[in-house]
Amino acid sequence: MMFDRRLAENFDWGLLGLTLGLGGIGLLTLYSAVTAGTLAPQHGIYYRQLVWYGIGLGVIGVTILFSYRALDAWAYPIYAVCTTLLIAVLWIGRSAGGSRRWLDLGPASIQPSELIKIAVIIVLARYYARMVTARGLTLRDLIHPVAVTLIPFVLIVRQPDLGTAMLVALIAVSITVFVKIERRSFTYLLTAFTVGIPAVWFVLKGYQKQRILTFLNPDRDPLGAGYHIIQSKIAIGSGMLTGKGFLKGTQNALAFLPEQHTDFIFSVVAEEWGLAGSMVLLLLFMLLIIWGLNIALKCRDPFGTILAVGITAMLFWHVVINVGMVMGLMPVVGVTLPFISYGGSSIITTCICIGILLNISMRRFLIE
């Protein structure tokens, strides 16, 4: 462990302040989502989120104590543990909403599919840091990363949780493209991907096909599969420029907006604070993404650079998919909005990511 005066001087207060700001917005929005309106308030959800945020801050504190370079040595053990938890979910996991995604640990539960995203990032950063060349990666070089990504992808699809599985794939692709693929290999992969897209339709489950069809035309089943996105659009549109005000969103208060404290919490922001408030939140997320990329740019070793890019890609795709989903620009796939959506595993995973970024930022000038 290495924590001296130089590290304290290089501590990234800006990133911590941005994190606390987004967390504060998340708690404020969640309070409205679970307590506003004439229906029974769910104060317990809000109090549990406060506890998770407290634990998350502790996790950030622990994460910055040890050099991020230790993750290089522990990459595969971390990956093995998270993969084992994913396998355990399929056997003894708790089912809810038609999916088996959670492991109960006494009074709390964890969602291993959240943790595996970090594990995949760490393993890919370790591998690619040793494989970076000017010519780029060949198809043979990509066999190992594909295997590392495919194992959790398949296990998560089996739950089923297509949204998180898609996130794991997008994170891996983002890291790989950043590292650079040989031009010929990239052409082969792009061709195979383009040809293979139509075949994906035939392996999707019925409800997954329904989500895609509903995305293309929500009005085909307004009281069924299209209900979520129609109500979300109504909430977003009714906020107009400045919103209806805190605790005054009618779609939220009257429970027309489904999953308002998890997947569709951005709709609560848009209804209560309008376009202006939504843009402020999106600008804060954009600043977070730029901050993460800047940390990667300034890092002096390949492992830290790729690690920072992977974490930033994870945060980026979470925001893009969630916001696109609630606005009807993407199919509904159950992806949370970092810092804002309710969920212990989501908060802890995000805080681990922030802790690692802080760790890299503090030690980016040090060569150990």
The neighbouring-strand residues paired with 206 are none
Tell me the residue type at 172: A
* CB-based contact 295:360 (threshold 8 Å): yes
Sheet bearing 94-96, strands edge to edge: 94-96, 99-105, 108-110
pLDDT the model gives residue 329 = 84
- Distance set, CA 108 to CA 55, 116, 345 (Å): 13, 18, 10
Rounded Cα–Cα distance for residues 69 and 175 (Å): 18
* CB-based contact 243:272 (threshold 8 Å): yes
Rounded Cα–Cα distance for residues 214 and 11 (Å): 47
* CB-based contact 331:211 (threshold 8 Å): yes
User: Within 13 Å, how many C-alpha atoms sit on residue 277's CB side?
Assistant: 22
Backbone φ and ψ of 12, nearest 5°: -90, 85
pLDDT the model gives residue 155 = 94
Name the residue with tokens 């129609």: 230
The domain ranges of the chain are: 5-363
Q: pLDDT tens for the chain, 368 residues: list them.
A: 445 677 777 889 999 999 999 999 999 999 988 887 545 667 888 999 999 999 999 999 999 998 999 999 999 999 999 999 999 998 888 877 667 888 887 777 889 999 999 999 999 999 999 887 778 888 999 999 999 999 999 999 888 888 899 999 999 999 999 998 988 888 888 888 888 777 777 777 776 677 677 666 666 666 666 777 888 888 888 889 998 888 887 776 666 677 788 888 999 999 999 999 999 999 999 999 999 999 999 998 899 999 999 999 999 999 999 999 898 888 888 889 999 999 889 999 999 999 999 999 998 766 55
Radius of gyration of the chain (CA): 21
